[in-house]
Chains A and B, each alone.
Chain A
Amino acid sequence: MKLQEIIKEENLVYKRTPLMTDNVLSYCPGCGHGTAHRIVMEVIEEMGVQDDTIGIAPVGCSVLAYDFMNIDMVQAAHGRAPAVATGIKRTWPDKFVFTYQGDGDLAAIGTAETIHACNRGENITIIFINNGIYGMTGGQMAPTTIEGMKTSTSPYGRDLQLMGNPLKITELVAQLPGTYFVARHSVHNPAAVRKTKRAVQKAFQIQKERKGLAFIEIVSNCNSGWKLPPVKANQWMVENMFPFFPPGDIKVDGELVKKE
């Protein structure tokens, strides 16, 4: 069969969702932010709720998410996205409201907003991109930087004696009564992308049913900050970050998932 016979509208199986704008993403080649954006937009498109969804962009590399996500968006001050989301959701309880935040935004400067929104059980969705580093500002150590990981402010690797412990904020918010669904996933290979998408679908469904807050962490590469080519960065992530940040469900239907 010739290529021209295959490349026809009726044989189409996948194309970028129109909920991603035509703007070229400002992300580095191979950065997981783009994949994570598209997953969220595909879920919103498939649910047909693009006119009823409001996203909150953070400060960080994804500060321009509103240029890429073809829905209504607000950009919040650093770390304050869950507070802004709270206000919007309480004003318009029928709208779908989600935040999209990096680890510096959500787990450092915004820790208070994160914990209180989760503890109050706001009926919102939080998408948390954990790349273990402050990507935008030049790869400084974040609360999520794992032991031994080199960053521009821990050039010999994170030393726990000197720099303290990394923070598993996802496990922490799972302990709070206000969270209904908490999971950790990734976007580095096709299977992981499919799992993440199912989790995001579930999160939006929970919001639709007004069951409470859904919190999805996506462990992702910051290949520029980690100073590795994208594919190697993803391998490094699997080998080094997954032991500390294991993918999987953490809390389902308001109950912590029992670990054997």
Chain B
Amino acid sequence: MAKVIGAIVVDTERCKGCEVCVASCPMQVIELSKEVNGKGYHFAYMAQPDACIGCANCAIVCPDGVITVYKVNKRA
């Protein structure tokens, strides 16, 4: 299994499904879910969690600021 060094947590109830994060992720980690949140938005989630490098690109472009990013600096 590929080494996971980054992870994001999306506040799914506040996500508006705009896909700006999807377009900004260099590793194609994020997709919109098939399910919807309480507001009816397809929310963002880590479809490829192993690929996340914790670069925070998604979080800094998210207009609603609903992404939190974690990263482990340890190298394999």
In the assembled complex, which residues on chain B have CB atoms less than 8 Å from the CB atom of A27?
A: 63-64
In the assembled complex, which residues on chain A have CB atoms less than 8 Å from the CB atom of B19?
A: 30, 229-231
Interface size class of A (residues with CB under 8 A): 35 or more
B61 interfacial contact with A, CB 8 Å: yes
Query: Would B65 and A20 count as touching, CB distance under 8 A?
Result: yes
Interface size class of B (residues with CB under 8 A): 35 or more
Fill in one digit per residue for A13-45: 1 if any B CB lies within 8 Å of its CB, else 0.
Answer: 111110010001101111111110010000000
Q: Give chain A nearest CB distance to B68 CB in angstroms.
A: 4
Once the chains are docked, how many angstroms separate the CA of A194 from the CA of B49?
25
Interface residues in B1-42 by Cβ distance below 8 A to A read 3-7, 9, 14, 16-20, 22-24, 41
Partner of A13, one of B14, B16, B20, B56: B56
A164 interfacial contact with B, CB 8 Å: no
Q: Give chain A nearest CB distance to B3 CB in angstroms.
A: 6
A172 interfacial contact with B, CB 8 Å: no
Partner of B7, one of A6, A187, A193, A234: A6
Smallest CB-CB separation from B65: which chain A residue? A16
Smallest CB-CB separation from A187: which chain B residue? B61
Once the chains are docked, how many angstroms separate the CA of A193 from the CA of B58?
11
In the assembled complex, which residues on chain A have CB atoms less than 8 Å from the CB atom of B71?
A: 6, 11, 13
Q: A231 and B20 in contact (CB under 8 A), knowing A7-B9, A24-B14, A35-B63?
A: yes
Once the chains are docked, how many angstroms separate the CA of A11 from the CA of B41?
29
In the assembled complex, which residues on chain B have CB atoms less than 8 Å from the CB atom of A1?
A: 3-5, 72
B69 interfacial contact with A, CB 8 Å: yes
Partner of A3, one of B7, B59, B62, B68: B7
Report the 5 A-B pairs with minimum CB-CB distance, sorted nearest first.
A30-B18, A34-B63, A29-B16, A16-B65, A29-B18
Q: Which residues of A contact B (CB under 8 A)?
A: 1-3, 5-8, 11-17, 20, 24-25, 27-35, 38, 187-190, 193-194, 229-231, 234
